[in-house]
Every structure is written in structure tokens, then in C-alpha cells.
Amino acid sequence: MSKPRFYVTTAIAYPNGRPHMGHAYEVVTTDVVARFKRLDGFDVRFLTGTDEHGLKIDQAARAAGKPPKAYVDEMVAPFQALDAALGISFDRFIRTTDTDHKALVQALWQRMAANGDLYLGRYEGWYSVRDEAYYDEGELVAGDDGTKLSPQGTPVEWTVEESWFFKLSAYQDRLLALYEAHPEYIQPLSRFNEMRAFVAGGLSDLSVSRTSFTWGIPVPGDERHVMYVWLDALANYLTGAGGLDGEWWPADLHVVGKDVVRFHTVYWPAFLMSAGLPLPKTVFGHGHVLNRGEKMSKSLGNVVDPAAMVERFGVDRLRWFLCREVAFGEDGSYSDDAIVERTNADLANGIGNLAQRSLSMVAKNLGGVMPVRGEAGESEVRLKEAFMAGSEAYFAAMNALALHKALDALMSMVTAANGYFAENAPWALAKTDVTRMAEVLAATLDATRRIVILTQPFMPSSTAQLLDQLGVSAELRDFSGLNTPVAAGAQLPAPAGVFPRITLDS
């Protein structure tokens, strides 16, 4: 029987600077979803990459004194290196300078043109180079010095040039009907309400080409124009799916930052409707990750290199913290001391303590041999009930994209298992009832095994080490193996601590 398919993407990063914690957060959380789906029996395709055209790149390349392609080749490398350091399990890292992507975007343009949705005109209005976005006068805000800024607080400039336009206004009613029929299309609810209100307020036709620079994909039949970078960028999801009629389309989930939700839930579905293509099923707009509650800014000197954070704390501690501390869909904050406090409490004192104590006792008292499970008494029944409730909550949260709640459920199971271990005191039983001691250790190890299997999407490297120590074979590490305990009598390797406590000075 073939596996059900699941196609998930991040937004593609704009490499005009080095990756920051926001990029790390997005790829980590999306990777967690992809790994969860694989463990849950899905055939997964996971796409990430970089968005390499547009005026912002053109200007940055000129400032660096380099041709745009040479510039982006250099700038993409740190994003690829960070993804490797974070253990991101993507199936393709797409670049919008890839040859197959250029052909696809031009084919998409031609389908939209054939539908009568593109026309030549003249654009006069406000444009933010930093956002690569057009804004109406009513959306602008005043800066401290009285200058006009975009809603994101970025500078805008008055732009006048010939442009091809997309008839976005013709899709207002269809977009509102989409939101009404499929409220799950935009998540979380706050983003849904924001986008529905934006569209209900009226849509203007969208400029989708530029003539003031040449760094982009040429418009078919009118190569004086290059395509608007967002039309180019959004189409990467089709390229990654295998083409306009690719076998992986439509996407099940786009994970994007909240500041680009409009592009993904207004422009993108309208482009797809115009081209006669299916729509993605869900767009999830996550919040910002703030440094001690402040948005990262070069002027504030609080921009943090996530690769340095991996080097300092370890990849799995950082992954755990980002998913545990930040409610997925809301803004969250991080700091060095918060990472130390959270990972020591959950990992060193929680999962690590549970595994190390039980495995060490088996090594010391039972020669490292997996003990036999006994008949379930009252404490074992309570443990089972706690795990049934915890597992149900975990799967419900993961399927609802509430990653932080899934980790709450996991920690409830850790608390129950550590409580069971403390209540039954196998260290005392070692002196009075070796058989009962072995039964308690067997139950504890099996509880630990279940916890670690469920923790794999969040901490793939550390959980692999723990599953090795627990004697779990490779074919029993997905969720179908949750109810298959390690056989009694199996020889376990010597235990080694996986989550030692850390300090800010360590």
C-alpha cells in the first residue's frame, strides 16, 4: 500500500544578508512538522531555499561590486550551512536562479496571460525595496522624522514606470469565497481575520513586472520587463512540486512569517486561480522571534548569528527551546539565560535524568540486560493512563500545528515516568526485592522508549543516541513501533549521558 503524501514548504529566504534567528526558527519548526509526518507514515516532500532576484539583490550586488549571480552564489552559502548545522531534512533546496525554475515561472505567466489576467500599463505608487512590496497610501505610517514608511516600518519610495499588471481586483470575491469555505486555509485565526479584512476592504490590480532593472526572470514576449520578484518567488513551490502539473502539487502546508502572509494568501491563490491550478491547503503564518523581547536590528546591536547559537548550545537544545518556548503562531522571545534554564529543566532534569537513572541501574544491577516486564499493579496502571492521555494530546497538538502544546504533552509524560520511578524506588528494591526492581526498571525503560520516539521530530540527533542506548532497532523507531517494547533479554550498550546540565559559562 502506498503512503499518503505530504508536501510542506518554508518561505524561501532573501539572501541579501546573513541568516538570522527568524530564518532558523522557520526552518526548524517546518523540519519538525516534516519529521513528524514521516514518522507517522507519510511520504513527505520538504522544500526550502532562497529567493534570489529583485531590486534589493540588484542593489546589494552593485554595492558589493559584484555581478548579481556571483553575489547570490556567495550569499546563499551561509543559509545552506545553517540548514546543515540545524539538521534540516529538506528534500530540495531550491534557488530561484535554478534553470528549471525560470522555465516554470515563464510558463505560469503564459497561463495567466492566456486567461486574460495580464495587461500593460503604468505604475505610479509607493514601493518598499526592503520588502519588495507595493503599498497603498492608506497603509503607510509616519516615521519619527515624518518620512513615510511601510506597515513593516521600512522605507518606501515613489515609483513610476511601465508595468504589466495582474487583474487582482477580479479575484476579490473568489478569495473571500475561499476563506469562507476553507477557514483552515489561513492559520492561525488572527492571520485569517487580518487577511479576510484586507481583501474585503477592496483589492487593486497588482504590478507584476519592472523595467528599472534587469536582475530577474524576463517576461515572455516582452523582455524589456522582468517579473515582479514575488510572482517569481511564490512560483518556487510549483517548481519544487515537479512543475505546473507536478505530482506533489498542491502543497499541504506553507510555513511562512507573519509579515509575508498577504503574499501567500492573497496574491498566491489569485495567481493559481488565474492559471487554473489547485490551491495549497494551508498557509501557517508564524510570529517573530525576538531577542529579549526586542525585534532584531543592526542599529540596536542585537542581531544574533544562529550558527553561533548552535555552536554554543548544541543543535538539539536550540531546536527544543525554539519549539518549546515560543507558542507556534505567536511572537516569542529568546535569550542565552532562557535557553540554559529551559533546556536544563526539560532535558537535563527531565528526559536526560529519566534515561540516565534507569539505564545506569540496569547496567549496574542487571548486567545491561533488558529486564522482564511484570504484571501491572496500581502504579503501572496510573503510568499507562498518563501515557495514553499524553500521547493523545501529543498527536492532537502536532496535527493542529501546536508544536509547543505537543511538547507540553511530552513533558507531562516525562513527569509521570519520573514520578513512577521515584514512587517505586528501584534503588531501594535492589536491596530487598530484585525481581520487583527489575520490573520497575522494565516499565521505566519502556516509558522512556515511548517518550524518546515521540521526541524525535524535535531533537533527531539526541534521540538517535538515546534509542541506541535503549536497544530500539531502526525499524521500530517510527510511530508504528510505539507499542512494540524492546525484547526482554536484549543486551543494552553502556549508558552515557546525553543531556548534561549547562551554564552560561560552559
pLDDT in tens, 245-273: 999 999 999 999 999 999 999 999 999 99
pLDDT in tens, 146-169: 788 988 888 988 888 899 999 999
One domain, residues 107 and 237: yes
271: left (phi over 0), alpha (psi -120 to 50) or beta: alpha
pLDDT in tens, 102-136: 999 999 999 999 999 999 999 888 888 788 888 88
Three-state SS string across 24-61, please?
A: HHHHHHHHHHHHHHHHCCCEEEEEEEECCCCHHHHHHH
One domain, residues 136 and 268: yes
Average pLDDT over residues 174-196: 97
Average pLDDT over residues 90-113: 98
Q: 94 with 34: CB under 8 angstroms?
A: no
User: To the nearest 5 percent, what fractions of the chain are helix, strand and coil?
Assistant: 50, 15, 30
pLDDT at 296 over 70: no
Closest CA to 456 of 46, 91, 90, 39: 39
Strand partners, 141: 149
One domain, residues 25 and 162: yes
One domain, residues 262 and 340: no
User: How many domains does the chain divide into?
Assistant: 2
Quote the pLDDT of residue 506: 59
For residue 149, tell me if it sits in a domain.
yes
One domain, residues 347 and 206: no
Average pLDDT over residues 372-394: 95
One domain, residues 110 and 172: yes
Residue 409 maps to which CATH number? 1.10.730.10
Q: Residue 1: exposed, middle, or buried by beta-carbon count in 10 A (0-12, 13-18, 19+)?
A: exposed
For residue 292, tell me if it sits in a domain.
no
In sequence order, the 6+-apart residues with CB closer than 8 A to the CB of 344 are 501, 502
Q: How far apart are CA 387 and CA 448, in angstroms?
A: 11
Average pLDDT over residues 457-475: 98
Average pLDDT over residues 7-23: 94
Strand partners, 128: 133
Q: Enumerate the H helices of 166-314 as residue ranges.
A: 172-181, 189-200, 229-234, 236-241, 261-262, 268-275, 306-313
For residue 473, tell me if it sits in a domain.
yes
Q: Specify the amino acid at residue 213.
A: F
Q: How far apart are CA 347 and CA 64, in angstroms?
A: 44
Q: Which residue has the higher pLDDT, 436 or 297?
A: 436
Quote the pLDDT of residue 299: 45
One domain, residues 222 and 367: no
For residue 257, tell me if it sits in a domain.
yes
One domain, residues 276 and 131: yes
Q: How far apart are CA 359 and CA 336, in angstroms?
A: 31
List the single range of 119-133, 262-276, 291-305, 396-410 with lowest mean pLDDT. 291-305
Average pLDDT over residues 425-447: 97
For residue 340, tell me if it sits in a domain.
yes
Q: How far apart are CA 129 and CA 152, in angstroms?
A: 12
Q: Using N-to-C axis directions, what is the helix angle for 353-365 and 460-469, rounded to 10°?
A: 20
One domain, residues 385 and 445: yes
Neighbours of 358 (CB within 10 A): 25
One domain, residues 97 and 230: yes
For residue 352, tell me if it sits in a domain.
yes
Report in angstroms the alpha-carbon separations of 365 from 318, 426, 441. Answer: 35, 10, 10
- Of 228, 259, 286, which closes a domain? 286
For residue 362, tell me if it sits in a domain.
yes
pLDDT at 195 over 90: yes
- Of 286, 303, 323, which closes a domain? 286
pLDDT in tens, 493-503: 999 999 999 99
Average pLDDT over residues 159-186: 96
Q: What is the average pLDDT score of the chain?
A: 94
All three cell numbers of 477: 523507531
Average pLDDT over residues 223-238: 96
One domain, residues 221 and 364: no
pLDDT at 297 over 60: no
Please give the residue range of the domain that contains residue 186: 5-286
Q: How confident is the model at residue 369 (pLDDT cuts 50, 70, 90)?
A: very high
For residue 466, tell me if it sits in a domain.
yes
Residue 241 maps to which CATH number? 3.40.50.620
One domain, residues 369 and 451: yes
Quote the pLDDT of residue 304: 83
Q: 303 with 329: CB under 8 angstroms?
A: no
Q: What is the pTM assigned to this prediction?
A: 0.93
All three cell numbers of 22: 527568524
